[in-house]
Each structure stands twice: as C-alpha cells, then as structure tokens.
Amino acid sequence: MEDLSRFKQTYFDESAELLEVAESGLLRLTPGEVDSDEVNAIFRAVHSIKGGGGAFGFTELVAFAHEFETVMDGVRNNTVPVTTELVDTLIRANDLLGQMLAYAREGDPAPAGTTDGTVAALRRHLSGGAPQAQAPAAAPAAPPPTPVYAPTYADDEDDEAGLFGDAMAAIAAARAEEDPVPPGKLRWTIVFRPRSDLLMSGNEPAFMLRALRRLGDATVECHTDALPNLQNLEAELLHLSWTVTLLADADVDLDKINDVFEFVADDCDIRITAEAPPPAAPEAPPPVTDPVPVATPPTVVAAIPEAPKAEPPKAEAARPRPNGGGAEHAGLTSHTIRVDLDKIDRLVNMVGEMVITQAMIAEHVRELPPGEFQELLEGLEQLAQHTRELRESVMSIRAQPVSSVFSRMPRLVRECAATTGKEVQLVTSGETTEVDKTVVENLVDPLTHMIRNSIDHGLEGPDERERVGKPRAGTVHLSAQHRSGRIVIEITDDGRGINRPKVLSKAIEKGLVQPGATLSDEEIDNLIFLPGFSTADQVSNLSGRGVGMDVVRRNITSLGGRIGVYSTPGEGSRFVLSLPLTLAVLDGMVISVGEERFVLPLTNIVESLRPKAADLHGLVGKCDVMMARGEYVRLVYLHQLFGIPGAVADPTHALVVLVETEDGSRLGLVVDEVLGQQQVVIKSLEANFRRLDGVAAATILGDGRVALILDVAGLREMSRHMDSRAPRPPSPPVAALPAPALEPV
C-alpha cells in the first residue's frame, strides 16, 4: 500500500511537470504555423497524464484527459484547425486537468459538472474538424496520423525495413500479400520477445496475450525454438516468445497495444507492425506534415526499446522525435534521477558542517610552530581544496535553470495584455542560466509583479504607441545571466518610462518626500520602491494596490539580492535584479567590534582603511562624514547601532570598512578590526528565533561560536533612524532602544 502511494506521488510530480510542458507548448501554439514537434509534445504530455491516471483508477481525470487528448490528436492530424479560440480552450483544458489532478491527489471527487463546460468546448472544436480523426484507414485522403505506425503508401522502396530486418516481420509482410486485410480494419503483427527474467518481476505473459485478444481477433503463435532441452531447463526463466496477429477495428491504435505492454516495456523486445487494407485510391501523397523516415510500404514498423543487447540504438538516431506511444518509453533512457529534496538538503548541511570543521582545524593548525608539520599543512591545503570542490558540486545539484520561472511568464503576459487591451510581445533570453532552487522559487512572485508592472504602467496602449512612432506591440524583454558570482535578471520594456514629475508629486502627496526637496532623477525613480507608493490613477486589477514594488524589493532583499531601476522618459525602463547564486554559502569578511565578531558579505565591501583625523568631518551635528577617494561618505558606528561595549570609538584608531548597498550608495562602517576573509555557511536565525534589524543571518565560525552576518542596507536604515533621534552620535549609546546595552562578559 505504501509503495503504491509512493508511485502516486511520483505520478503527481511528473504530472505537474507534464502540465507545464503542455502549457508552455500551448502558449507557443500559433494559428497558421503549427509545429508538429510542439503538438506532439503536448499530446504526449496529456497522454501520459491520462495513462498514469488510468493505472491509479482516477476515472474522472482519465475521461477528461481523453477528451483533451482527442482534440490534440485532431490538431496533430491537421483535422482540427488551430485557431486562437482553440488555443484558449486548450489552455483552459490544461488548467482544468491540473485541477482534476489536485482533486485526485486529495482523494476528493471533482464536483459534478466540473469538466462539462470545457468538454463541450473541446467537442465543438472537434466537430468543426474532420469527423474521423482516429480512423485513417477509413479516410485515406486525410494525412495519416502518426506515420511511425500508421500505414502510408509511399511508393519508393525504403531501406528502413532492413533496420528491423527480422524474419518474423518479413513473414508478416509476406502473409499480407496472400491474405488482404478487410476494409475498416487494421492488421497488427506483434512480435513479443520477453527477456528470460521477465517472470522474476512478477509479470505474466499470458495476461498480456489475453489483453491483446480483447482488442480484436487475435491469432497467437508461440515460438519454442529457444527452449533448451530438459536437463538445461531452468524453470524460473522464460524461454518462449510469441507472434500475435491481431485483426482489430481501426480505432485500436498503437497506444492501446503499447498499453498492454506498459509494465514490461523495459524487459522485452516488442515489434509492432500495422497493415491496412489495400488502398482504395492507388496512390496517396506521402505525408506532408511530418515526414518521418520510417515509412515502409506497405507495412510500417515501430520498435519499442531495443533489447539490452540488441544492435546499437540506430533506430533512435533515425527517428530523433519518435511519435506516439513509443516516445515515453524511449525517454526512459535519460541520464537523470529524481531525488527527494530533503536528501540533497541534508547533503548541503553536511558539507556546510564540513566547511566549518575544516575552518576550525585550520585555525588550530595556524597556532602550531611554523616550519614543522609541513605534511600536515599540505594535507590540510588539499583538504580545503577538496572541500571547496565538494561544496560546489553539491550546490550545483541544487542549481536549476531559471527557465522554470521564465516559462510561466508568457501566460502572464498574455493575460495582462488581454486585461489591459495592450499589445505585448515577450522576449526572453538566458533561460538556461542556473541558480539555486530556493532562489528560483522565490523569483516567481517578484518577477510576476514586475512584469505586470511593466505592462500595466510601463507600456502604452497600441494607439498611443502608434502616435509616438513606436510599433503597436510593446516589447518586454526578460533576461538572465551570470555576472561576477551573481545572477542578474533584467526586465526591460520599451514603454513610456517612469513619469518623474508624477512620481515626485505623488511621493510628496503621500508624505514620502518633503515638499521642495530636490531629488536626482535616479532618486525619483527609486521612490517607486517605497512602501505604500502607487501611481496608478485607478486601482486596476493588475497592479496599483500599492503593494507592488516595495514588496518586490523586500522579497529580493530577503534573498540577499538588490534591485535597481533605470529609466529614460519616452523610451522605457529597465529593472535590474542581482541575486546570489546560492543561499547556503557566502564569501565574507570577519570583523570584530568589542568582544563580538561579525561577518560582512564580501559583495558589499569596497575597501577598508584607517582614516586620518583631517578626513573626518561632522555634518550639521547629525553624523560624521569621511572623505574617501574624493567622495564624502557617512560613518556608521557599529558599536553604537548594536550597543556593543568596549569598542574602539575613535575612527582614527579603528578601521573604516567602506561598504556599498544595493542602490550603489556607500557608507563607512566603523569597526575595531578586520580579521580576515572566509567562506561561511549561512544559518538561519529565524528558524529558532527571529529576524533582527541590521542582521541578514548568522553563521558558525571556526571556533564553533556564532557570528552574525550583517545586512548593510539594514544598517543604513538603522543609522537613519538614529540620526533622527540622537542629536550627535559619537558619545551616548543607543538610548532610545528598549533593551539595556549588552554588557561585557
């Protein structure tokens, strides 16, 4: 029972992926230019969901999937024309299939009539097309469905037959000449040669033969030539093979026959050939839509997986995209495995522990007298290298291409375009860029928001665009790339750009900016990230609830990312997201303040220096600034922000670490000492406690002690709060905070 539920889980997992495949295929389906590979992919996806569902007895799901599949089959055969309405119906059907799966997963029956509307819509499309989509033999003029197995009447001799050159198939072909197939029927010749250990896996060939008989009029021949003599006979092995000649109605297709062998496909060699009645019309044109090279007159052969020791998979090469039922089986040879995420996470944690232990050993070794223990040092050096490689390999397991997020966006754009009445074209690039799974998952919401925002606020309506000399359809470009150890995602639109006067007046109206304040263009652009800011005159369905861009920024920041906007009025806007590739490890600089040690993310650090007294200035009694490389930067005293006693207060005796926040603004962090650079494993503070201002996360240093990882942007916010409270910072500790300052240990 437990095993079955595990299979079910796998089925649902796979179905979710298949739904995505189908959806992205459907979205690419354009009227007029039907890509048969795409159509086949969609068909296979739906078919696989149906097949698996059947195995678990989800009858409602199967019934609906069947309707869906029938229409897809029609599309595949060119009997159902691809129109915009059809695509819409199919997308809806795909959604509904997802719902049906959800019901099946929960074990609930779907509410009565759930599928009625969509089924009716599907059937309408079907009746618009040619009536007998499934019966090529009855309608020989229609292009044959899937030429891999369907009869075709190409008149040139095809040497593909030699590939499967098999005595039994030849016999079948010979028989075809003397015994013509009656009209409206198909004669299938099924050569079923199980591997000798088939019985070990609990399969019973007799059941399969019986199942075949149910499909039509079957004649079974048993081949006993491989049977050893009695003294060599091993009773537990199977030595028989069979040839079944099945005279079936035209609605029995290859899939139905393959279904019989579904569970043994890997353990046997099956060849299935079909033979149609002699053509009524002497010649039909060779298939135009999908000229798959396995058309042999008058019989077409489909080989399902080669027996392990059979000839090299030449047949596969000849048919790069096998159609129909064979495809799922062919796909089984892929070199991937499915692993529970928990297992990988455990591995990641373990490697994290190892990094810590290794740092700990390194710390102790440093205290040994130099010159001795040379071998130990070398060994340690190697260990460090291996650890790093191991860590990278493990991280790469968790890495996923961003395409899983990007692929959801066409749908969104389609819907947004429909709601706003704008014409939008989405261009994506860099879909294969890989990043940690957690990052990928957390990208969905921000990207959804931002693309909506670009369409709703950025792009103009088609008429307005025409007036200003732009193409009617606006373009939104979504791209991803790796850049200096981070992933950078850009969303560019060619719309009207940020309306700065409007943004500014709105910000003043909402009290976010003082009236009369002078802001640079860049500062104005960045106002849109402030909480509670929304410029939409009307609250639209899409965006404009004022929860847009500030939430986006918060999401991105919580991932350790940054976001920026660059806009040119009249030409468009560009949003740039930069995110760490992994959330598990970070290159950091260990610093000390008083007795405490902290880690600063290396990506934030510009440089560290010890200022001279002449470089330091007070600024309107509010804070200290320092001249660094021709620029004034504000000083932030970490010991004040965090209330740490015993720290060096005078910057000329301490160190200033120049850090840069996500929007490029700099500040000087005053710390006691910089202890060194180190890779640290990011540990959650929230898992057992809570988030703290100015702290991004925590980590464990080489001595086993916890150190907090600083959040530079958060520190800047805190220091702003402090400026507005304290008259002049250097002397008094953080008086207004509720807790007494931390005391010395």
Partner 1 sequence: MSSSTALATVGGSRTDARNDVMAVNAAEEQYVTFTVGSEEYGVNILSVREIRGWTPESRLPNLPDYVRGVINLRGIIIPIFDLRARFGGGATSVTKRHVVVVIQVGERTRGILVDAISDILAIGHDAIKPPPDVDGGMVDAEYLSGLYTADDRMVTLLSVEKLFSVENSELDSATKALPALERAS
Under the rule (CB under 8 A), what is the footprint of partner 1?
Answer: 349, 352-353, 356, 595-597, 641-644, 683-685, 687-690, 692-695, 698, 700, 704-708, 718, 721, 724-725, 734, 736-740, 742-743, 745
Smallest distance from partner 1 to CB 683, Å: 5
Does residue 624 sit in helix, strand or coil? strand
What DSSP string runs through 309-365?
TSS-SHHHHH-SS--TTHHHHHGGG-S-----HHHHHHHHHHHHHHHHHHHHHHHHH
Match 């104005």 to its residue by tokens. Answer: 524
Cβ proximity to partner 1: between 269 and 596 the closer is: 596
Contact 673, 646 (CB under 8 A): no
Cβ proximity to partner 1: between 250 and 700 the closer is: 700
Does residue 398 sit in helix, strand or coil? helix
**Amino acid identity of 409?**
M
Contact 65, 72 (CB under 8 A): no
Cβ proximity to partner 1: between 605 and 698 the closer is: 698
Smallest distance from partner 1 to CB 355, Å: 11
Cβ proximity to partner 1: between 33 and 743 the closer is: 743
Cβ proximity to partner 1: between 409 and 698 the closer is: 698
Smallest distance from partner 1 to CB 351, Å: 11
**Amino acid identity of 480?**
A
**Amino acid identity of 581?**
L
Smallest distance from partner 1 to CB 562, Å: 23
The pair of structure tokens assigned to 96 is 């509904």
The two beta strands, 562-568 and 605-609, are unpaired
The pair of structure tokens assigned to 340 is 């529970």
Smallest distance from partner 1 to CB 726, Å: 9
Cβ proximity to partner 1: between 154 and 589 the closer is: 589
Contact 402, 443 (CB under 8 A): yes
Smallest distance from partner 1 to CB 41, Å: 41
463: exposed, middle or buried (C-beta count within 10 Å: 0-12, 13-18, 19+)?
A: exposed
What interhelical angle do 549-558 and 437-453 show, nearest 10? 160
Smallest distance from partner 1 to CB 577, Å: 27
Smallest distance from partner 1 to CB 419, Å: 36
Cβ proximity to partner 1: between 230 and 687 the closer is: 687
Smallest distance from partner 1 to CB 367, Å: 19
How are strands ordered across the β-sheet holding 185-194? 216-223, 241-249, 185-194, 268-275, 300-303
Smallest distance from partner 1 to CB 360, Å: 11
Cβ proximity to partner 1: between 335 and 690 the closer is: 690
| Dihedral angle of Cα 50, 52, 56, 62, to the nearest 10 degrees | 0
Query: How far is Cα 310 from Cα 85, in angstroms, rounded to an integer?
Result: 47
Query: How far is Cα 315 from Cα 303, in angstroms, rounded to an integer?
Result: 8
Cβ proximity to partner 1: between 170 and 735 the closer is: 735
Closest CA to 427 of 474, 478, 502, 369: 478
Cβ proximity to partner 1: between 381 and 693 the closer is: 693
